[in-house]
Structure 1
Amino acid sequence: MTTPPGLPGTGPAAGPTGIPAWTVGDLTISRVDEIPLPARTGPWLLPGATPAVVDQVPWLRPDFADEQSVLRLASHSFAVETAGLRVLVDTGIGNGKTRANPAWHDLDSDFPQRLTRAGFAPEAVDLVVLTHLHTDHVGWNTVQEEGRWVPAFPNARYLTSRTERDFWAGTDMDEARHQMFRDSVHPVEEAGLLDLVDVPDEGAEVAPGVRLLPTPGHTPGQVAVELHSRGERALITGDCIHHPVQLAHPDLSSCVDIDPEGAARTRRRILSSLSGTRTLLLGSHFAPPTAGHVVARGDAHQLVPCAPVDRA
């Protein structure tokens, strides 16, 4: 897959490492890119976000939608060091994996090199937080060695919510999802590296400055990840918000939401809690500039982009 041409002045300014980052208190949150998602992703993922609907939200252009009102989306992870721990949030699609979605099938990206440039070489990662167990969030959990899928982060603990893992354990999955679990989840479990976390309504602190918050709807056990330091806060969405168009239209649900009405309730709750605050919202699939602050706009919300810092 080729990278779409950029738009001058609309993407994040990358530092010398080529890794965009934001500061929250003493924390530096890096975005580690995997791939931009193809234009056809938007109409499939958010079928209600028609060109007519996107046209009603002019602030989406040019960063989050193109001139034809096609949504821009991306696959990336977030990395942060806190209290000496290197933490990675979600692991993208992964290389060389058999996938039903042609855009995800047998990828060959430079994600591990980008991760290393960000200071998070796979063997140095201490904690991998999985917001939920969907294919495009767990793919780099594993890499292939001598014909076997093995944990990509051999010295890390992997975390997901107990509700999430229990849900999939009791679900009659199709072959494509079985394949994903075989190559990206089961090897981590078999290595004894997966920890299941009970996440109450008030959230669960899993490392200094790292808190999991329940955001059910897309999946029953999905979590958002709050990062906090010195009174400042950021929130990584997972898939409770796929695209900024959902700030303007929070009832727009994804075609893969297990509980669309529940997902919309979660979205409204999250947006209301962030509106008018200085909390930085980091979208797990938001195209560059990826991060921003939520402000009220009539009876809905808008994302005001926040440029990343230039990493030295």
Structure 2
Amino acid sequence: MNTYSFPIGNFSALVISDGGMPVTKEFFFAETPDHLVQGFPANFQAPLNFIHITTDNKNILIDTGFGSRCKDAGQLLHNLAKHGINKYDIDEVILTHGHLDHIGGAVIEGEPSFPNATYYLRIEEWDMWAANKESEEYQILSRLENSITFIHKDVEILPGIKLFLTPGHTDGHLSVMVQSESQRLLIVSDLLNDPSTLNHLSSHIGLEVSPEKGSQTRKAIIDFAKQQGIMLFVCHYPFPGLGFIEDHNNNHKWIPYFKE
């Protein structure tokens, strides 16, 4: 299965697989005790899950996948098309951060992949990549500059769609709160790597810019989601990356959400 549909109040949500990202265990589980991830091979495919939200009159895509930059990924556009959604239909693209598995599909042949969309990016994220203009990440983001609305503070960009800063993985990493009626979904992108490390906050994906700050952010997000009973969406968790965090014997436990 490479797509999964579910409602959030009056909104419609669609999880889309972009394929898989080849990683090493050492990279994907940096600063992680061996006993927590002993079931993982030395090399494996990390899931790449992204999400599309339909509100009353807007099509919103959160991150764009790898595009053609990874032979095992780049399936997002194809899987969107299965649901009758093409690149011209997307009105808003929220870029949670600038790593290639999240922005690689944002540009095709030097032009924005979603020509009618406004792109959203936190200003700290832009500044971080602009400090290294030779990076592939900046080369992609610079092609989008005229289409980007830079976010300077936590903000509700549309009714029920709020962006807020969750730094650590990168300087300007965004999370997204989606709310319609009484239902909420918290999209946390790359703050978490796998359910097996939910109780070890220092575990992180190897590209994390500030693991200490990331650990603090993870604690705040996990505590908030657990206390509020909010469903989370996590990019690299097993498909469809949806679930809840509950207490279990004084530990956090991931409760996957998946209904046929």
- Is 1:222 aligned to 2:173, yes or no? yes
| Deviation for aligned residue 1:165 | 1.0
Structure 1: distance between partners of 2:73 and 2:202: 35
Give SS of 1:187's match.
helix
Q: Is structure 2 residue 152 aligned with structure 1 residue 198?
A: yes
Contact 1:79–1:120 (CA under 8 A) maintained in structure 2: no
1:179 and 1:32 map into 2 onto residues whose CA distance is 24
For residues 225-304 of structure 1, what are the structure 2 equivalents within 5 Å?
225-304=176-255
Q: 1:108 to 1:34 in 2, by over 3 A?
A: closer
Give the counterpart letter for 1:37 in structure 2. Answer: M
Q: Which has the larger radius of gyration?
A: 1
Shift of 1:267: 0.2
For the residue of structure 1 that corresponds to 2:37, the secondary structure is helix
Q: How far apart are 1:50 and its partner, in Å?
A: 4.8
Q: Which residue of 1 aligns with 2:14?
A: 30
Q: Structure 1: how far apart are the matches of 2:106 and 2:216?
A: 30
Residue 135 (1) aligns with residue 100 (2): yes
Query: Structure 1 residue 54: deviation in Å?
Result: 2.9
Give 1:6's aligned residue.
none
1:185 to 131, 138, 141: 141
2: distance between equivalents of 1:186 and 1:30? 28
Q: TM-score, normalised by structure 1?
A: 0.76
Post-superposition offset of 1:153:
0.3
Q: Assess if the C-alpha contact under 8 Å between 2:11 and 2:56 holds in 1.
A: no
Query: Does structure 1 conserve the Cα–Cα contact (< 8 Å) formed by 2:74 and 2:105?
Result: no
Cα gap change, 1:71/1:294 in structure 2, threshold over 3 Å: closer, same or farther? farther
Residue 46 of structure 1 aligns to which amino acid in structure 2?
F
CA distance in 2 between partners of 1:108 and 1:74 (Å): 10
Contact 2:47–2:236 under 8 Å retained in 1: yes
TM-score norm. by structure 2 comes to 0.91
For residues 36 and 50 of structure 1, do their structure 2 counterparts lie closer, same or farther at Cα, with a shift above 3 Å needed? farther
The DSSP-based 3-state class of the residue aligned with 1:250 is coil
State the match for 2:161 in structure 1. 210
Could you give the per-residue CA deviations for residues 216-253 of structure 1, whole angstroms, max 9, x where no partner exists? 01111111111111111001112111222332212213
Hey, what's the Cα distance between the residues in 2 that align with 1:245 and 1:71?
A: 15
From 112, 120, 123, the equivalent of 1:151 is 112
Coordinate RMSD, CA, aligned: 2.3
Find the aligned partners of 2:45 and 2:251 in 1 and give their Cα distance: 21
Pick which of 286-295 and 256-265 moved more: 286-295
The 1-side partners of 2:31 and 2:45 are apart by: 15
Change (3 A) 1:108 1:234: closer
Q: Is the 8 A contact 1:233 1:278 kept in 2?
A: no
C-alpha separation in 1, matches of 2:112 and 2:240: 30
Give the match's secondary structure for 1:237. strand
- Shift of residue 129, structure 1, vs aligned partner: 0.1
**Residue 123 of structure 2 aligns with which residue?**
162
Q: SS state of the match for residue 88, structure 2?
A: helix
Task: Supply the distance in 2 between the matched residues of 1:259 and 1:48 (Cα, whole angstroms).
Answer: 13
Q: CA deviation at 1:122?
A: 0.5
- The number of residues matched between the two structures is 260
Structure 1 unaligned spans of 5+: 1-13, 56-64, 98-103
Aligned to 1:7: none
- CA–CA distance in structure 2, aligned partners of residues 246 and 209 of structure 1: 30
- Which residue of structure 2 lines up, in the alignment, with residue 87 of structure 1? 60
Distance 1:20 1:150, change over 3 A: same
Question: What is the identity, as a one-letter code, of the residue corresponding to 2:14?
Answer: S
Partners of 2:34 and 2:55 in 1: CA distance = 41
State whether residues 64 and 103 of structure 2, in contact with CA within 8 Å, keep that contact through their aligned partners in structure 1.
Answer: yes
Q: Which runs of 5+ in 2 are unaligned?
A: none
In the TM superposition, residue 156 of structure 1 has moved relative to its aligned partner by 0.4
Q: Distance in 2 between matches of 1:135 and 1:109?
A: 11
Partner Cα distance (1:286, 1:134) in 2: 17
1:117 and 2:82 matched:
yes
User: What percent identity do the matched residue pairs reach?
Assistant: 24
